[in-house]
Structure 1
Amino acid sequence: MNKRQDRHRKKKKKKKFVRGFFFLLVLILGFAGYIFYQYYTGLQAAGEGFDKNAATDFDGAEVDKLGKINVLLLGIDSRGEEKSRTDTIMIAQYDTKEGTAKLVSIMRDTYVEIPDYKNYKVNTAYFLGGPELLRETIQENFGIDLHYYALVDFKGFQQVVDTLAPEGIEMDVEQSMSKNIGVSLEPGVQMLDGAELLGYARYRADAKGDFGRVERQQKVINALKDELISVNGVTKLPKLIGTVQPYIETNVDGAEVIGILKDFVLNTPEDIETMTIPVEGSYTSASYSHAGSVLEIDMEENKAALDAFLNGGSSVVTSDSEEEQ
């Protein structure tokens, strides 16, 4: 090969590289533009959201080398009050190494020791001192370290469902439901929109009361997980983040959210394991003048059960069934 042919070959190779690089750059910019557009669309459609306390402290533990992330999930119905109790208290755990997810619901009437206060219902800790005091309460009573918190207004939940699944989420409604949920539901398998799914998750006017409500909440979260990891759900992630942003307060920054979501989507758990505190047979109903009706629990039994469920160990009895965790 003479020098002229060699120069010609190198010139052609350089042109191909430039064209390929330009094409890749266009793809990256187009993808970034799509993400921004979807995020902005979700943000615009979401509305004003609720007033957040940007100064909220949360002294969460550092995520250890085991890769298990514990998030305190709190659900509130914001109606403009300066202070409110949280209707929903959950611990969500995602194991980034094993790709497993677990969800613990703590009954809001559980009677616990609140640091520097009297014993109260566990949801009173949020009323008295926000997410941080609730974190301290859970750590002191159950010995569980929490790394992050996410406070979600129920209006945001409704918006997310309607954005993720405009046709609704399939749910098997066990019975007629209407009392204090703002919608009327009839028994049977059906597609529920955001308002209906929220009403289903909040219903507690049956024999199971709050325990039934917790079971439905866990059922709803599993259904949403399946929709989120579908191809349809993954393409809507930027819009979903924009939609929920006005309705969520959290100490997880944007980069951490993206990292956790990436791990979750790429290593999706087949199912979300669930349990409820207090566990079956470990509590009695009681009443106190300063706290009202409460669930008085066997603290050691529940502490051991929660530790076994989240950190491994012996079999535990959950409120749903007896199984090896």
Structure 2
Amino acid sequence: MSRMDRYNQPSVQENQQSMERRQQQSEHHHPPKKKRKKRHLFRNILLLLFLLLLVFGGYSYASYKKGLESAKNDKSIPQIKVDEFNGEASSDGSVNILLLGSDSRGADQGRSDTIMVAHYSKNSKTPKLISFMRDTYVNIPGVGYNKINAAYSYGGPDLVRKTLKNMFGISIQYYAIVNFESFPKVIDTLLPSGVKINAEKDLDLDQVFIKKGWQSMTGKQALQYARFRHDEEGDFGRVRRQQQVMTAIMKQAVSPKSLFTFAEAVGKVQGYTTTDIPNSFYLSVAKDFVIGSVNPLEKMTVPVDDSWSYENYTSVGSVLSIDELKNKLAVQKFVND
């Protein structure tokens, strides 16, 4: 070998660097088998989850339709017709729903025996419930002063909405009306094993016997318990028991245990209820309840303490005359806190 050939021959160090570059290039074009396997496993898991979501979504929709048709075809429950309801969204994004219990018996025919507003904010995740005493003396738009439950008979849920807006400044977006004939079926649908309630005392309610203490009530028992008012507390005690029943239903009906039966239950409840609440709202709120991110229910009764007195008027009978400003401010503080 000539001196020039020895000079041009690559050194040992150059050969080693060249081999390292070729190895790096090879790894770049051909990833290690372990990395490829991990990538494929991750992709397969995502595909499986996607397929499961599709199956569960299809199952949920079919279950929802099954529940809805079942309730719609129940001819034993009279349908409630609502001509119009001009719901108004709240400025802060929260949702207020007017809940009405319609009683079609005796002298109260056409009046709303129960008036509540359910409030929920996605920001605070605190459900709130306001009960309005049915004998509260209010100014009904276009009618004049009367008991608040008369608003329903004069103009349906929309006039109740207008009255609450006029008196207490609440913007109500949706409504839900339950006839007392359908209420037991709603409860039995949501909670087939009964709703667990700590009864305040022994009661005989039209041959429905309830013992004091914890028990599982059927829909019929829960209805009778919530409606009872023939004691020294009258309507005040009834409103408290109504809130007790509603709290129990909200807490027990939506839980991880009810995940696979929830869609059918929602369908049945919608079928037994006259409402304009969209399905998207049910799904959104149910998600918060199921994953446990919702705070305990807060309750309020109108009129508030030390803001009312009994009065009697020839045209309407015994009423609760209220301090309008005090109650309006109390309602506003409750929903905005």
Give the structure-2-normalised TM-score.
0.79
Deviations along 1:99-135, one digit per CA (max 9) or x if unpaired, are 1111110001001111111211001011100111111
Once residues 288 and 268 of structure 1 are traced to their aligned partners in structure 2, the CA distance between those partners, rounded to angstroms, is 48
Once residues 102 and 293 of structure 2 are traced to their aligned partners in structure 1, the CA distance between those partners, rounded to angstroms, is 28
Structure 1 position 59 matched with structure 2 position 86: yes
Residue matched to 1:172? 198
Choose 1 or 2 for highest CA Rg. 2
Structure 1 unmatched runs, 5+: 7-11, 313-325
Once the two structures are TM-superposed, the CA of residue 59 in structure 1 deviates from its matched residue by 2.1
User: Of the candidates 96, 100, 104, which is equivalent to residue 126 of structure 2?
Assistant: 100
Residue matched to 1:218? 243
Once residues 212 and 286 of structure 1 are traced to their aligned partners in structure 2, the CA distance between those partners, rounded to angstroms, is 19
User: Counterparts of 1:106-255 in structure 2 under 5 Å?
Assistant: 106-180=132-206, 183-255=208-280
Once the two structures are TM-superposed, the CA of residue 243 in structure 1 deviates from its matched residue by 1.3
CA contact (8 A) 1:50 1:78 kept: no
Residue range with higher mean Cα deviation, 97-106 or 225-234: 225-234
The alignment partner of 1:243 has SS state of: helix
User: Of the candidates 228, 247, 260, which is equivalent to residue 285 of structure 2?
Assistant: 260
Once residues 69 and 102 of structure 1 are traced to their aligned partners in structure 2, the CA distance between those partners, rounded to angstroms, is 10
Residue matched to 1:323? none
CA contact (8 A) 2:115 2:134 kept: yes
User: Of the candidates 283, 294, 313, which is equivalent to residue 288 of structure 1?
Assistant: 313
User: Counterparts of 1:274-285 in structure 2 under 5 Å?
Assistant: 274-285=299-310
Deviations along 1:57-112, one digit per CA (max 9) or x if unpaired, are 22222233x33211111112457x9x711111011111110111111100010011
Once residues 247 and 63 of structure 2 are traced to their aligned partners in structure 1, the CA distance between those partners, rounded to angstroms, is 25
Once residues 163 and 50 of structure 1 are traced to their aligned partners in structure 2, the CA distance between those partners, rounded to angstroms, is 18
Structure 1 position 50 matched with structure 2 position 78: yes
Deviations along 1:143-193, one digit per CA (max 9) or x if unpaired, are 22222211122344322322232222221112222245x522122221111
Structure 2 unmatched runs, 5+: 1-25, 32-36
CA contact (8 A) 1:50 1:246 kept: no
Give the structure-1-normalised TM-score.
0.82
CA contact (8 A) 2:255 2:289 kept: no
Once the two structures are TM-superposed, the CA of residue 298 in structure 1 deviates from its matched residue by 1.4
Once the two structures are TM-superposed, the CA of residue 41 in structure 1 deviates from its matched residue by 3.8
The alignment partner of 1:207 has SS state of: coil
- Tell me how large the CA RMSD over aligned residues is: 3.0
Paired residue type of 1:50: P
The alignment partner of 1:259 has SS state of: helix
CA contact (8 A) 1:100 1:268 kept: no
Is the alpha carbon distance of 1:17 and 1:199 closer, same or farther for their aligned partners in structure 2, counting shifts above 3 Å? Answer: same
What is the identity percentage for the equivalent residue pairs of Structure 1 and Structure 2? 39
Residue matched to 1:70? 96
